[in-house]
Amino acid sequence: MEMTMGLIAIGMGLAIGLGALGVGIGQGIATGHATEAMARQPELVGTIRTTFIIGLAFMEAAVIYALLIAFMLFGKIG
């Protein structure tokens, strides 16, 4: 049970770490381009923000899945 707990912890670290890495970069790109799109077309601000929020939500879902797996693995450690 010793060794196993350690390896599960590394699995949890990889899951949430790599997930947050990708989603962080992705949301950064999305935020950056969305603000520039607003600056280019001020009368579309509402529409662009809606699209942007949809994108963020989908990305957040990806990191939530990684978090979910990490939680499930955590339940096996204790």
CB 43 → its own copies: shortest distance, Å? 7
Find where tokens 């955590």 sit.
74
Site string for its own copies, 21-60 (x = CB under 8 A): xxxxxxxxxxxxxxxxxxxxxxxxx-xxx-xxxxxx-xxx
- CA distance to 20, 61, 67, 75, 78, per residue, from 15 (Å): 9, 14, 7, 15, 18
Please, what is the minimum distance in Å from the beta carbon of residue 30 to its own copies? 4
The CB-of-75 to its own copies minimum distance in angstroms stands at 9
Number of residues located near its own copies, criterion CB under 8 A: 73
Conformational region of residue 13, where left means phi above 0, alpha means psi within -120 to 50, and beta covers everything else = alpha
